Amino acid sequence: METDSSLVARARAGDAEAFGLLTERYMRRAYAQALGLVGSREDALDLSQEAFARAFRARRSLDPDRPFYAWLYQILRRLCFNFLRDAKVRARVVDQGASAWLDEAPATAPASDPAAALERSEARRRVAAAIEQLPAREREVLVLKEFEELKYREIAALVGVPVGTVMSRLYSARRRLAEALEDHR
């Protein structure tokens, strides 16, 4: 398989096919991360495609020696944050509810105890609603850790902050989720 670096070098030289291959390689990841940030499938699709389109237009500024996805992610997160800044859009997304973007993990087996299953379902619903209310930067880090399962240093590289900042944002986000769960009890 051709390396990112080689594809980036070809894309820089104007090879649309090479850029298409980079798109195919990272489209799922970009979509998932946009979904985690904006909480709507349609908007995540739109924003992630827009990020690739902007990257395509700016492909001549790509550096083959730097990771392509980290560069793309800067465009993507900027688009997502701008999107979330629009209060009307945000209200619409919240109205759709977390079920539009969050799912039970595939490993979750059906419970034999219906009461426990109900309890878990309510806890998930509360946590999902609390995630939607998180400040964008905390939500970003939480999604990258919990749902994308990235390491702290990978998140730090993507977001462009020190590892300590990643951990403190994560702590703050989880504390807010804990409060939402506490209210439930």
Q: Which residues bind other proteins (CB under 8 A)?
A: 16, 20, 23-24, 27-28, 31-32, 35-36, 41, 45, 49-50, 52-53, 56-57, 71, 74, 77-78, 81, 100-108, 120, 123-124, 127-128, 136-137, 143, 145-147, 151-152, 159-161, 164, 167-168, 170-171, 174-175, 177-178, 181-182
Please identify, using beta-carbon distances, which residue of 56 and 69 lies nearer to other proteins.
Answer: 56
* Cβ-based neighbours of 123, under 8 Å, separated by 6 or more: 181, 184
At closest approach, how far in Å is the CB of 67 from other proteins? 12
Q: Could you please report the per-residue DSSP string of 18-87?
A: HHHHHHHHHHHHHHHHHHHHH--HHHHHHHHHHHHHHHHHTGGG--TTS-HHHHHHHHHHHHHHHHHH-H
At closest approach, how far in Å is the CB of 103 from other proteins? 4
Distance CA 136, CA 165 (A): 14
Please identify, using beta-carbon distances, which residue of 9 and 137 lies nearer to other proteins.
Answer: 137
